[in-house]
Structure 1
Amino acid sequence: MYDVIIVGGGASGLACALTLVSARGRGWSWAEDRKYLIFDTDKSDLNKAYLRNVPGVQPLLGTELLRIIRAQIEHWGGMEFAQERVIEINREDKTYKVITESGAEYNTIYLVLASGFKEFNIKGLDLEVVENPKSPKPGRVMIKHKDYEVLPNLFVVGTLAGLSSHFTSCAGSGVEVAIEILSRMAGKRVVIHDVPED
């Protein structure tokens, strides 16, 4: 059983993952020993991007930014990466069962969908998939939600949540959802900030 499974390893999925694991090592007993898993098939649009307008970030290739964020996640530890495509998700009482193309099954308490807006063809759940109104290209999709939550403890982020495809928009939604999940785990509002050590 995983505490959180994230489907999609682009800007929003990785930002969510980084925020989740960064709760570790802070003396919060509720945050330790959590099990996290992210599915990433390496198809993020960041692989084709050259980022020159991300606040505070020097121009760099999207592939390099993906590498940097993955390294940040690995530094904190606690996140497993699986390079496999999710084909079905089913809700079972208060958990979700995630089934991959190979037939492997994974269970989780919280689920985050971050698979982008080109299509959504994961079977199992009855989700309302509509056209993404903020996409400059026709045929892009989003999943209807309220404050990123689609079903209890199932969230959607990034362009699949109807956001524009800018890195900062997508990453911000991943952070927001991670903070919500961490707050539910803690039973109180949590925000993670770091300050320089003296």
Structure 2
Amino acid sequence: MEASIRAHEQVRAMVPLLEELAGRMAQVFRSGGRVYFFGNGGSAADAQHWAAELSGRFYLDRPGLPAFALTTNTSEITAIGNDFGYELTFARPLSGMAREGDMAVGISTSGNSPNVVRALEAVRGRGVVTVGFTGAGGGAMAELCDICVRAPSTETPRIQEVHELCGHVVCGLVERLVFPDAVP
């Protein structure tokens, strides 16, 4: 329990980075861009959760935002995994959908998940803002991300807890930036 509390308390120092991320994401939405989220296991759940908060609603009554989780189409994931290899399950659809001005958000507690890394590689240098949510070390993803949110832990459960907290902070900030006149 103490490790969890310490990890959450350290998020306060991450607020400037989360504000930067929210500002960039809000700009993507205001410019007509889309945000794609992806990860494995618990990170896949985060991808779906955050996409839902933005495409549906978080706090504010407002129009939906174009936010998508690449983790929901099992036919696509299994076909790509079978035909091309699991490491391309996110890279294939992302490279076909993401356009200049969009954002790709990869989530991996280790920062080394091959399919998350390959997806970020697929859009790097194409005018897509690349974002990573990782653990303290950052892994291979750190070098591929314009913004890398590193949870201050090396323990998977603590990293996941911090990711969830940070994701909610970002969603709340994005709503207020994109829809400053919306009503809670």
TM value normalised by structure 1 = 0.42
TM value normalised by structure 2 = 0.45
Q: Which has the higher helix share?
A: 2
